[in-house]
Structure 1
Amino acid sequence: MNIKKKIRLIVSLTIIFIPFFCFALNIREEIKERKIPTYLIENNSYISLKSLLKILGAEDSWGRVEDRVFIKHQDMEIKFKVNSTQVFIDKKVEYLAVPVKEVEGEILIPVDDFSNILSGVSVASRISKEPSFKEEKIVAKSKNKSFIILIDPGHGGSDNGATGYYGLKEKDVNLDIAKRMKEYLKKELKGNTGVKIYMTREEDVYISLPERVQMAKDINADVFFSIHTNSSLTMRPDADGFETYYSGIKEELVFLPSSPPGEVLDEEVKGDTSLSRILEDLNTTSAVDESRILADFVQERLAERLLTPDRGTKRRGFYVLRYTPMPAILTEIGFLCNPNVELNLRDAEVRQAIAESLAKGLLDYLKFRDVI
Structure 2
Amino acid sequence: MVIRVRNLWIHRKPRILIWISSLILFILGFQMALRNSSENNRFIDSVPTISNSEQRSMLYDKMGRDLEEKGAVFLEGGETSQSLSLSDMFSLKDGIVTPILRVVTAADPPVRANVLYLSPEFAVPISQAVRSIFLPYFDRVGKVDLAFSFRVVTFVYLSFFLFPYKTAIWFQNSSLYHFSMFHASHHIVDVPASEDEIKAEANAVKAVAELLCPLKIVLDRVLLTSTGVLLGCWQVTLGTDPITIRAHLRNALPRAPEKQLYDPALLHTSFARILGHSKLSSKEKTKDANQLKFFQDLVARLNNQVRGYEAVVSELWYVEEFDVLALALNGRINARRFYLGCSNTT
**TM class by shorter-chain length?**
under 0.3
TM score, norm. by length of structure 1: 0.23
Q: Give the TM-score, by structure 2 length.
A: 0.24
Question: Hey, which of these two has a bigger chunk of helix by percent?
Answer: 2
Q: Which has the larger radius of gyration?
A: 2
> Quick one: higher RCO (CA 8 Å, sep 6+), 1 or 2?
2
